[in-house]
Structure formats: C-alpha cells, structure tokens
Structure 1
C-alpha cells in the first residue's frame, strides 16, 4: 500500500532508537503505513514481524474504520483510495499489478465491498467477482453463483455482505440476497470450500414477539414505497428470516404521515434519498433550487432502523443536528451514498456532483449516545475520474 504523499520516516534515525520506543512509534501509525515501513529495512521488518507487535497492532486496527473509494479513468489504471479517521490523508492502494495473473484490467472493475484484508471487485466484461487480499497480495476468481454470471448493475450494496474470519486466517464468506421465483433466497460463498450454498429465507412465525438482539446480518432484498423486504440471518448464515419493516409515520418534528420515496422525486419541492445498509435507513431531505430543476441543497438527515430480527416497522432513531448539517450542506445535482454499522456506530458517506465537481462526505451516529459527528475529508482528487464503488470497512490486520 502507498500513501499519496509518498513519505516515510528517516530509517537511519529511527534505527538508533530503542526497539521498545520504535514499536510505540509504529503502533501510532495506521496499517498501510506499517506495511510500507516493513519494506524499508530488515530491522523494521523484524520489529513489525514480532508476534507481540502483530497482536497489539491487530488489536488496535480491528476497531479502525475505513472509507474506501474506487475511481478510474477509462483506458487508464484505476486506483483504490482509503481514508481513516486516525489519519489526515487518503492512502493510494494500487491493484493493477495484482490482477496481471488473472488477465483482468483494473479499469473494467467495480468495487463491491470489503471486510478485513479482503476486497471484492466485479468485472462487467467477463461478469465475474474477484477477491483481492491487500495484505497477502493474492487474488482469486470466485466461481459464479447459482444465479449464474452477473454484471455490475446486478449487485446492490445493501443486499450483500462480506464477512472475514476466523481471526488470523484469510478466509471469508460472501453473501447476498435476491428474489428467486418470488421467494427471498440467501446465497453464501465460502472461501474454505470454494462453493456456494443457497438457502430460502423463512417467513417469520413469531408474530408479536420482538427480539431485542439486533446483532445479526441484514440483507436488503426490496426497498419499496411503503414496505421494505430484508433477510436477517446470523453471522454463520443460518436460519435466514424474512423481515418486512414498514414506514408508517415520520419521526423528528411533527410525527407526520409520509410515504417512502426511493431515490429522488424530481417533481416535488422536497426530495428524499434513501440509503440502506446493515438494517438501517438514512433519509436525506433536499430542497430544489434554480429554475432548471437540477440544483438541490441538502436540508436534513434522519436515521431509521429495524429493531431485532422480527421488526415490523422502520423505527426513527435520530435527526442530524443543525451544526452537523451546516458542515455538510452542499449544492448538488446528483447524489449517492453508502451506509454501514459496526459496534453501535452507524457510518454513512454521501457523494455529490455538481457540474462535474465531486464531493465526498463522512458522517456517523453513535446509536448508544445519540451523538452525531462529521469527519472532514481531504480532497480525493476526483476531477476527470469516474466513481466505480465506495464502501466502509474495518479490521485490516497483519498476517
């Protein structure tokens, strides 16, 4: 991994320090910086390869959240960029060289999702999914699912999930949910067996008894006007259950009745964008500006969630306070977003474009304390590039 400033500590000066002090300095860095240091000198490599250092580094890295953006220029190399709130810059992560053994061009790929050290990309030309491990520097093709080869437009971010583990291994499970013959089905790929398994989700029969435990995995199947269809399952993808939350009434101010609008309703004064992920829904409200009807300005953000594996309604959680909205208020013509939850913290990214200028935002909500925060992002230098995927991840670890 490389950072865009291409900087590194002075190796000679650091080598003169006691090894304990050097370990503390290295532990203050984020993983891409540590991996790069491992290539600087043998003494650095020995410190970073020490098992006590690896354990401490991985313990700290496991809770570090990352935002990854994949951008490309046609007929040129595409680049994955990563940003964490523990740093102040984007890290440039080249993958072109990794793809040479499987004869794929990086500009043909779309970034799907990531977890730990594993990143999944989809090729629109050969309609395959590619798994890339950025730490072990390995790449492999995932066999087609039971539904057959799929193009990039078939993958919905809120309808898929990547789970890595057990700890210390490079194994992973990739799952997604789709309607098959009008029935929700969960498809799970295991890197251990290199095979897929399909399981039909069962309709909930535990009517009227809400489950408080919401630590399972939620995969969106359909996001409708008034009702969504999700599949809830355990981390081991066992016993998937159909969840049908409805949006009955508004939260926040007024408790007014409203319909769920998916995407934008350009003919209305107030437009709503719905972003889904991990059993949560973020509603971004905007107002039109300008006579041409193309310009919009963000005016409010609400967070909703499904309570437990038997949730009947989307439940209002919180509304972004005015001080947060002032920091992220943008004029835009096009907007998209992604959403993820881990350990009670809901993270969302919104990407806007106005007259060719891209802007990327990162906001989060701690559902335990109801505290909203905004993470300032440096310029990702998107001018002249196409956005080919965005997503949150965590758990980058040393082998």
Structure 2
C-alpha cells in the first residue's frame, strides 16, 4: 500500500512539471471518477480542475458520456456504486457512498438503488421505507418525503414504472416520477425537489383514434413513458412530458406476435420457469428469448429483439433484432433499458452458478445499427444485485 501511494505521489509530481495546457488536455480525456480522485490528490490539480474554462470544456464532453451503475447488496458501512462507461471499456470504477449516507439514519440497513440521472442517485430503504437522493458531485444527501401513497418498501418500486429527470441547467434540482393504479385508474405521481412536494394527476384515456390529448411522438422525442401493467398481449403505460407533468395520457399498446402467450416474465427471470423476458423503458421493449439448457434450472439465451411503441401508441412494433447468435447460459437474468438521443441502450445481467455476467447492448435508431460488448468482471461472485441503472451527463459543479 505504501509503495502504491509513493508511486502515485511521484507520478503526480512528474505530471505537475508539464505545461498547464498539456495537463488540461490530459485531464479532458479522463472520466469523472478519475477527475474527482485527481482533484483530491494535490492543490495544483484542484486549481486546474476548478478553473471555469476547464469545467465548461469538461462538462461539454461529459454530457455525451453514458454510464452504467451497479449497486451490490452489502452493509451500509461499506456502500459503494460500481460504474462502467462507454468511454473506458476495460474496467469498472468504484464510488464509495457510505460517508455521504451517514447523516441519514438507516440503522445499519443495506439499501436498494432505484435510479440515476446526471449527478443525482436515488436509494430506498426497506425497513424505514424511505427514499433518499444523493448528489455525488455536490456531496449532498436529502430525504424525500413519503409519496401520497404513503411509505413504500423496496419491492413496491418497479424500475420501468418510475423515472428520475434532472434539471438540464445543472442546478441539482430534479423530478422523480412514478405511475401506479389507484382505484383501478392509472395515476401519475411527481416529486419536485425545488419545492420538496409531491403532486398527483389521473392520466387521461386516449379517446381520439388519430391523436393524443397533447402533442407528442412516442419514440425518441424526449417524452417520459412509465409502465404500469405488463401482460403477454397488452401493456398499460402513462405518457407525459418531463417539464409539464400536469398532463398525462394512458396508452394500451397490444403485442400481437406468435408465441406471445408463452411463459413471460418482466424485469427479472428465473431460468427454469420463463421462456421470455421483457425489459421496458422509454417507449421501448426488449424481448429476450431463451431455450432449455442441458442442466436443470439453467436456460440458454438465444435471441434478443427490440420493439417500440407505434406512432398512435396502440401497439408494439418490431424494430430490430440483435444480429447473429448470442448464446449464454443462465439461471437468473435481469435487465434495464433507456433511450437517449436516438440510441437505445440495454444491460442484460445474468447469473449462473453464482457468477454474474453483464452485456451492454446499443441500437442506433438513425443508422439501424447494433453494437454490443461483454463487460469485464465486476467482482460480484456471491453478492446479490441491489439495483442497476444507466445515467448520462455526470458533470463538474
């Protein structure tokens, strides 16, 4: 450990001898966890990184960087997010958060990671039934008051039924939205951090056969789609605008495809039971098809398809399938999906004999092109997954 510290110090001293413009160019090529670590290393680096011109340049580059965050289920005293970015495809970064969470009393309980957007991350507690928002860059944490539905345990939060949207100005304010059935009616709930209050609105049924009650294009237009109910033949979604949440509409897209009545699971699949896994997000649906393996309780992934909402929001339309054959044995599988700027990203996480395996899939809707890559080992053997989410636009203050 001392040798590593001495080596790091020597490298830092050597770097300080370079011209400042060259140092800035080197720093611009680094990802945010590396920048934060350098800022803490010495005062010279801190001054360079805190310079307004450098912050603007770095944030301009960082806004297009996509991250995948994974949270392991472990004791709060050692809580850490593990992050991977498409700008650095060879390793994971570890971001400790236990010190950040100290002001909040969770009685030593481990947490569940709900969602992320820009610098804001949401965690939920099952015992005290609270949600907290953590800002990794401003190093702040705050409790979110209970929603109009009251305190909720971690099992009540459905990944595809909620969305975290941050203020694009970089103010740190955010909206947390989720949709639920209340008295058999879809209702949208929105928390506004600026006012620290919740509001709720009942979503309107779409009665016009040609257009919705407010103007929007279902896919790739920056709208928010929250999945309320999933079935083998039909889904129920609530659609709204991220900055105009007083209006929302109910969508009931049909899934008309051969085999849709086969065994189906949403979000998480045990290999010995389900043939088809559906992963929803942002007006898209990824269908993961499997077949029985040679071993009991193990299945083999065979095909991955991407479907999207039709322009009238009344059916799921086939978009594309991952080319080639992706064969992967698994006993359990889960996934998350997001769309941003015309690119659909999905992470498929499988477990086989205690070993976790992750694959990052991307589909560019403009060029009709797939890319995918297996992620390096996250050292999760024997651990339970306690949340996964994509996020873009981590920025310096």
Q: Scaled by the length of structure 1, what TM-score is found?
A: 0.91
* Match for residue 242 of structure 1 among 233, 245, 250: 250
Q: Secondary structure at the match of 1:108?
A: coil
Q: Distance in 2 between matches of 1:296 and 1:24?
A: 48
Please report the RMSD computed on the Cα atoms of aligned residues, expressed in angstroms: 2.1
Please give the per-residue CA displacement for 1:345-372, whole angstroms capped at 9, x wherever unaligned: 1111111111211111111111111111
Shift in CA distance, 75/257, structure 1 to aligned 2, threshold 3 Å: closer
Point out where structure 1 has 5 or more consecutive residues left out of the alignment.
250-255
Residue in 1 that maps onto 2:382: 384
Does the 8 Å CA contact 1:67/1:83 hold for their aligned counterparts? yes
How many residue pairs match? The answer is: 382
Residue in 1 that maps onto 2:337: 339
Q: Distance in 1 between matches of 2:271 and 2:87?
A: 38
Q: Distance in 1 between matches of 2:158 and 2:100?
A: 25
Matches within 5 A, 1:39-58: 39-58=40-59
Shift in CA distance, 105/383, structure 1 to aligned 2, threshold 3 Å: farther
Q: Which moved more, 1:209-218 or 1:344-353?
A: 209-218
Within the alignment, does 1:224 sit opposite 2:231 as a pair? Answer: yes
Residue in 2 that maps onto 1:288: 292
Does the 8 Å CA contact 2:73/2:111 hold for their aligned counterparts? no
Q: Secondary structure at the match of 2:367?
A: coil
Q: Secondary structure at the match of 2:100?
A: helix
* Match for residue 301 of structure 2 among 298, 303, 328: 298
Following TM superposition, by how much is the alpha carbon of 1:318 offset from its aligned partner in structure 2, in angstroms?
Answer: 0.1
Within the alignment, does 1:73 sit opposite 2:88 as a pair? Answer: no
Residue in 2 that maps onto 1:279: 283
Matches within 5 A, 1:74-153: 77-87=78-88, 88-104=90-106, 107-153=109-155
Residue in 2 that maps onto 1:349: 347
Shift in CA distance, 392/267, structure 1 to aligned 2, threshold 3 Å: closer
Residue in 2 that maps onto 1:253: none
Residue in 1 that maps onto 2:165: 163
Point out where structure 2 has 5 or more consecutive residues left out of the alignment.
none
Q: Which moved more, 1:205-214 or 1:104-113?
A: 205-214
Q: Distance in 2 between matches of 1:166 and 1:125?
A: 33
Q: Scaled by the length of structure 2, what TM-score is found?
A: 0.91
Q: Distance in 1 between matches of 2:66 and 2:341?
A: 11
Shift in CA distance, 49/347, structure 1 to aligned 2, threshold 3 Å: same
Following TM superposition, by how much is the alpha carbon of 1:376 offset from its aligned partner in structure 2, in angstroms?
Answer: 3.2
* Match for residue 198 of structure 2 among 173, 196, 199: 196
Please give the per-residue CA displacement for 1:168-226, whole angstroms capped at 9, x wherever unaligned: 21111100000011111110001100000101110113313485463211000001121
Residue in 1 that maps onto 2:26: 25
Does the 8 Å CA contact 2:357/2:375 hold for their aligned counterparts? no
Within the alignment, does 1:59 sit opposite 2:63 as a pair? Answer: no
Please give the per-residue CA displacement for 1:241-292, whole angstroms capped at 9, x wherever unaligned: 111100113xxxxxx4643753169788x81111111111000011102363
Q: Distance in 1 between matches of 2:270 and 2:192?
A: 40
Q: Which moved more, 1:348-357 or 1:103-112?
A: 103-112
Shift in CA distance, 26/49, structure 1 to aligned 2, threshold 3 Å: same
Q: Distance in 2 between matches of 1:338 and 1:97?
A: 28
Q: Distance in 2 between matches of 1:162 and 1:382?
A: 26
Following TM superposition, by how much is the alpha carbon of 1:75 offset from its aligned partner in structure 2, in angstroms?
Answer: 7.6
Q: Distance in 1 between matches of 2:122 and 2:192?
A: 13
Following TM superposition, by how much is the alpha carbon of 1:106 offset from its aligned partner in structure 2, in angstroms?
Answer: 6.6
Does the 8 Å CA contact 1:85/1:375 hold for their aligned counterparts? no
Q: Secondary structure at the match of 1:26?
A: helix
Shift in CA distance, 213/27, structure 1 to aligned 2, threshold 3 Å: same
Residue in 2 that maps onto 1:396: 394
